[in-house]
Amino acid sequence: MMAEKKKKMTSSSLRRILGYAAPYRGKIILALIFAVLYVVLNLTAPVLVGYAIDHAVGSGNVDYGMILELLVLTGTVVVLSSVFQWLMNLCTNYVAYFTVRDLRRDICRKFNTVPLKYIDSSPHGDLLSRIINDTDSIGDGLLQGITQLFSGIVMIVCTLGFMIMLNFYIALVVVIITPLSMFVAAFITRLSQKMFRQQSATQGELSAYIEEYVGGQKIVKAFGYEQRSQESFEEINERLLQCGQKSQFYSSLANPSTRFVNGLVTAAVCITGSLSVIQGALSVGQIAAFITYANQYTKPFNEVTGVIPQLQSALAGADRVFALLDEADQTPEPENAEDISDCRGGLEIKNVNFSYVPERPLITDFSLDVRPGQRIAIVGPTGCGKTTFINLLMRFYDIDDGTIMLDGKNIYELTRSSLRRSYGMVLQDSWLYNATIRENIAYGRPDASMEEIREAARKAFIDRYIERLPDKYETVITEEGGNLSQGQRQLMCIARVMLCQPPMLILDEATSSIDTRTEIRIQRAFAEMMKGRTSFIVAHRLSTIKEADIILVMKDGNIIEQGDHDALMKRRGFYYDLYNSQFSAS
């Protein structure tokens, strides 16, 4: 049952790869034409060489003038054949590379349409392996497949035609014996295909492991995990070695096995051809040409079996790529989804339920009413649902039940882009990309002027640091801000939000990596920025949220207390204990 399913998957993947190549059918047709010309000219050369041999056989019968003429003609044919072969390869390269480009473009688009839940739950290294390694395998396999398929089919048909014209019976001997190589190749292919699938999956697992541990090297070293991480790597690498060796071993049997069959073909041609020469049915030159044609006829079978590893690797990679492309997209927006442009920031949340896993509810019967311009602080123990609540507001995740209204409109009737534009978000984990400081700050507003960017940096108290850099705002930040400290990266992200001036703010531990003195300044800047804007503040340091209009105290996905700081302290409940636990020394 499982084998049948995999066979159907591979067949479907092959059809879809051909579907991706279909827009370049013009280049495919040209490649076919060039293949025909290349093969015909390539097969003409043995005939001319045979004629030259016939003009050199026998004592005193050597015709040097005719031999020279035939050799010049043969050289011209060989050069033209090489030119058409080059043009054929040029066209097949074009088809293969542009097909892979289209595949990668669709994968990148898919990353923008799948639910964030899929990205969060999939190893990022494995996703990278699909878009890089697996598509490369498809490109290599497609390139080899098209080239060998085109030239091979034409070579077989044309060579068979030439052999039949020379001698039907000897051609029949070749045709009868040659298919044995295909049966051998098919048998070996079945053995190796399973190992190639396993190799592709293990390669993705290894990529995910490497990406995880290279990114977390500081933690690895801090906890002395080097030896254990090396052992885990060795275990995965050993599995990759085993399946890689087996797949290569099985597939490498195909070429020598078919060459053995082809040796039998050549021997049969030599024996039957020699008898024909003795009987006078063929000349010496013709039998020489026939032996060349027999080798040419079997050559495509050798070439196809020689690229079986690439083809199988391509199909295994295609299965993984199309499995990603077939993932369900996020819930589509209604056809009449509204693009909210004038957001005031009023939120009404009624009876919201949410769980990452159905059997483990996280947020249950959550209700909240937020007026425009209010500051809402969210506190509670780790894992109580604070960040999850933020994810639901921005529709990074969809609720299971209930409603969330923004300015009286259900957020599920608004476009995601306009909803998310209404929020400015600063997270605990800052994200920067490989570009200049100016481009990173202007990420949400690419059209912002230089003066606006400088003003945003000044408000975020990062301008002095930037001005001290040799290239100032044109300084290139390395991947994920590796040449900045964690605090500097967070200040850059704060400047990015301050430049956008969104109607609503979400600050999820936004100052967790900043020194106390700078944090006080940032809090003042935030206070100024939050005037008139609905703001949600997730904080562990409760001293930073004392000025909030409403403090929501969450526990196990529910609001167990709410009110301002003074009211909650007077109540002497969970918040009171939580606050005092941070200041027990005082």
Give the tens place of pLDDT for each residue, 281-330. Answer: 666 667 777 777 777 776 776 666 666 667 777 777 888 888 888 888 88
Q: What is the 3-state secondary structure (H, E, C) of 515-560?
A: CHHHHHHHHHHHHHHHCCCEEEEECCCHHHHCCCCEEEEEECCEEE
Find residue 558's DSSP bridge partners: 555
Task: Kindly calculate the radius of gyration of the chain based on its CA atoms and give it in whole angstroms.
Answer: 35
CA 313 to chain centre: 16
CA 196 to chain centre: 19
The upper half-sphere exposure of residue 210, i.e. CA atoms within 13 Å in the direction of its Cβ, equals 14
**Residue 373 CB: number of other CB atoms within 10 A?**
17
Look at residues 265, 60, 90 and name the one whose alpha carbon lies nearest to residue 179. Answer: 265
- The CA-atom distances, in angstroms, between 545 and each of 198, 244, 375, 410, 531 are 53, 57, 9, 29, 15
Domains of the chain: 14-325 (1.20.1560.10), 347-582 (3.40.50.300)
Residue 352, H or E segment: strand 347-354
CA distance 139 to 548: 57
CA 54 to chain centre: 59
Residue with tokens 């882009």: 417
CA distance 344 to 338: 15
Burial track 243-263 (b if 16+ CB lie within 10 A, e otherwise): bbebbeebbbbbbebbeebbe
Residue type, 144: Q
CA distance 114 to 110: 6
pLDDT at res. 3? 47
Residue with tokens 């442009």: 341
Cβ contact 135:100 at 8 Å: yes
Secondary structure class of 376 (helix, strand, coil) = strand
pLDDT at res. 59? 58
Cβ contact 395:419 at 8 Å: yes
Query: Which residues of the chain fall below pLDDT 50?
Result: 1-5, 585-586
pTM given for the model: 0.65
CA distance 343 to 504: 8
Burial track 543-572 (b if 16+ CB lie within 10 A, e otherwise): ebbeebebbbbbbebbbebbbebeebeeee
384 Rama sector, left if φ>0, alpha if ψ -120 to 50, beta otherwise? alpha
CA distance 384 to 376: 16
CA distance 34 to 280: 37
DSSP 93-109: HHHHHHHHHHHHHHHHH
Cβ contact 390:506 at 8 Å: yes
